[in-house]
Amino acid sequence: MEKQRLYEKVRHGTPRFPMACFTTRPEQPSFQIQLHWHNSMEIMQMEQGTAEVTIGAQTFQAHAGDLFFINPQQLHRILAEDAALVYHTFIFPLHALAFQTGDNAQAYLEPLIQNTMHFPVQPAEEDQAWIADLLRRILTAAEQKAAGYELMIKALLLQLIAELLRRKRFLAVPQSPSKKSQQLKQMLEYIQQHSESDLTIPTMAETFHLSEKYFSRYFRTATGQNFTAYLNTVRIEKARVLLRETDETVLEIALNCGYGSISYFNRVFRQQIGMSPLQYRTSAR
């Protein structure tokens, strides 16, 4: 399942059970999930290989066995140059764990649902074994889909939260998000919404009332990529979806994704994906 968007609008699971567990094995040694955020809770569990994981302002060198909690609305990304990379993702909206009645059990969940309390980005070392065991049971239930598996997954997630509460692992969230974090989200969402347009550093700087020099420096520092590289990543991800899900020609897709030159589109696509657009369409179907 691909999540390479800034604000992720992909629906996980089903309307009646909006939770998903899946395993990622990259198609190419060079792999990235670009900077994005969503309103669901996400847990990442490394099985093998290495990756660079950025969550908020923190960057980690992730290895097999590492666990990460990605709270709702936290900007995050994954970069890897490892063909052996395998990791598991558990994603769910916290409100899906809520109880119908406002009893004491629900009172424990409300700070998480209202985003005034956060999971720690990385669990304490002494917590990793029991958390890994719970996640293994969740993944098994999701894969087997035996009768009542939805109830099992929900119960295990509640058990995870209850145990973290007992151990006092949750963190209070500052009342107001940083101005820079909010501005970065606005920039990235703007790029996502207008990626088919003629976006340039001057137009972005003007839109966000910044000098071109400051915008370029700020964008590289905040995302780890220069503006053109990030824009190409967004455009190529959209192109991949169109190649898989439509019968549009490569030329039509290139134009729809903001490329005025099909030769440039082909070159960028091959650099990022390791094959031509036509080869990708054939392999993806």
DSSP state of 7: B
For 11, how many CA atoms within 13 A lie in the half-sphere containing its CB?
Answer: 6
Q: Which pLDDT score, from 0 to 100, does residue 4 have?
A: 35
Query: How far apart, in whole angstroms, are the C-alpha atoms of residue 32 and residue 236?
Result: 12
pLDDT reading at 7 higher than 50: no
Q: What is the pLDDT of residues 206-221, one digit of tens each?
A: 999 889 998 999 898 8
Q: Which pLDDT score, from 0 to 100, does residue 225 have?
A: 84
Q: Residue 10: which pLDDT band, with cuts at 50, 70 and 90?
A: very low
Judge whether 265 and 239 are in contact, CB under 8 Å. Answer: yes
Query: How far apart, in whole angstroms, are the C-alpha atoms of residue 271 and residue 267?
Result: 6
User: Closest Cα to residue 110, out of 93, 120, 95?
Assistant: 95
Q: What residues have CB less than 8 Å from 157, skipping those under 6 apart?
A: 19, 92, 97, 138
Q: Which residue has the higher pLDDT, 279 or 100?
A: 279
DSSP state of 102: -
Q: Which pLDDT score, from 0 to 100, does residue 175 have?
A: 63
**Residue linked to tokens 């059990």:** 105
pLDDT reading at 3 higher than 60: no
Q: What are phi and psi of 207, to 5 degrees?
A: -60, -40
Query: What b/e string do you get for 126-140 counting C-beta neighbours within 10 Å, with b at 16 or more?
Result: ebeeebeebbeebbe
Q: Which residue has the higher pLDDT, 205 or 176?
A: 205
Q: What is the pLDDT of residues 157-175, one digit of tens each?
A: 999 999 999 999 999 987 6
C-alpha of 187 from chain center: 17
Q: What is the pLDDT of residues 30-76, one digit of tens each?
A: 888 888 888 899 999 999 999 999 998 889 999 999 999 999 988 89
Q: What is the pLDDT of residues 173-200, one digit of tens each?
A: 876 666 777 888 889 989 999 999 999 9
Average pLDDT over every residue of 98-120: 90
Q: What is the pLDDT of residues 228-273, one digit of tens each?
A: 999 998 999 899 999 989 999 999 999 999 999 999 999 999 988 8
User: Closest Cα to residue 89, out of 68, 117, 60?
Assistant: 68
Q: How many CB atoms lie within 10 A of CB 147?
A: 7
pTM: 0.74
Query: How far apart, in whole angstroms, are the C-alpha atoms of residue 222 and residue 66?
Result: 24
pLDDT reading at 147 higher than 80: yes
CA dihedral 225, 226, 228, 229 (to 10 degrees): -20
Query: How far apart, in whole angstroms, are the C-alpha atoms of residue 76 and residue 55?
Result: 4
Task: Output the six-digit token pair for 144.
Answer: 């087997």
Q: Which pLDDT score, from 0 to 100, does residue 176 have?
A: 62
Q: Which pLDDT score, from 0 to 100, does residue 178 have?
A: 66
pLDDT reading at 123 higher than 50: yes
pLDDT reading at 102 higher than 90: no
What the chain holds in terms of domains, given with CATH numbers, is 20-172 (2.60.120.280), 179-284 (1.10.10.60)
Choice among 11-20, 68-77, 144-153, 194-203 with the minimum mean pLDDT: 11-20
Q: Which residue has the higher pLDDT, 181 or 13?
A: 181
| Radius of gyration for the chain, computed over Cα atoms and rounded to the nearest angstrom | 20
